[in-house]
Amino acid sequence: MPYIAVSALSHEGLVRDHNEDSLAVGPWTLCATVTESPQTLLFPLGGTPVVVAVADGLGGHPAGEVASSLTARRLAAAGTALRSEDDVRGELRSCNAVLYDAADDDPDLTGMGTTVAGLVLSAEQVLVFNIGDSQVFEIAGPPGAPELRLLSTDDSPPPPPGRRTTNIVTSTLGGTVVRREVEPHLRRLPAAVGARYLVCSDGLTDPVPPEELAAVLAGEDDQRAAFELWRAAIEAGGPDNITLALVRIDE
């Protein structure tokens, strides 16, 4: 029977003093904390959807770790019911409302926000979603020479001349004093044995260029690759929280 293998980790990097990222893998969550090494979880690829999502709390705003934790926990709780694009869209809008409701109840949380990106995998389809600059890639190409194909939509303006990235994000869950609605990015792919995906925060993709990410992913051991991706971000200066999940459909 086909199954889903997810190798994941989360770390605060070298510059941040705490981790504002959170992760949802099926019903399991890792919220605003640190893993010492990658963890691998297996799920049957059947009729019950499995969600894999990374939420990156907004730096420079209050309580980014609260925003990412609330989002990851809601997605983990709702994951098995996310069977269509409308289901995912509605749940992300509910996550957005929950952040604003929490801020209404506690002024210290006013303006908190998070990005989110992920997959919902089932026997028939893979639903890709994101809001913000966390990213989802398909790991395509022949074994030993993979290519990264961006599936998510980066909610960032073009970077300044001479720079590859920017720290400006134009759409997030929460993140403003005045409540605003969100329009998630969604796409649907067929579920296929052998498919591989990378879901990550910009703490990985900002310091490590795509060609270096692809070189690390040339191996077949996803748990080792997850560690090597983290190490590449650390060796590039580790300027932000690093959270990632490698997802593989296998049999």
In tens, the pLDDT along 47-84 reads 899 999 999 999 878 899 999 999 999 999 999 999 99
Average pLDDT over residues 110-117: 97
Across-strand partners of 129?
A: 118, 186
**Per-residue tokens: 191:** 């579920």
Amino acid at 107: P
Tell me how far the alpha carbon of residue 244 is from its chain's centroid: 7
Could you give phi then psi for residue 212, rounded to 5 degrees? -75, -40
- The H-or-E segment that residue 46 falls in is none
- Quote the pTM value: 0.95
Judged against a pLDDT cut of 60, whether residue 15 lies above it is answered with: no
In tens, the pLDDT along 137-188 reads 999 988 788 999 999 999 988 888 878 778 789 999 999 999 999 999 999 9
Across-strand partners of 54?
A: 23, 117
Q: Which residues contact 183 (CB under 8 A, 6 or more apart)?
A: 171
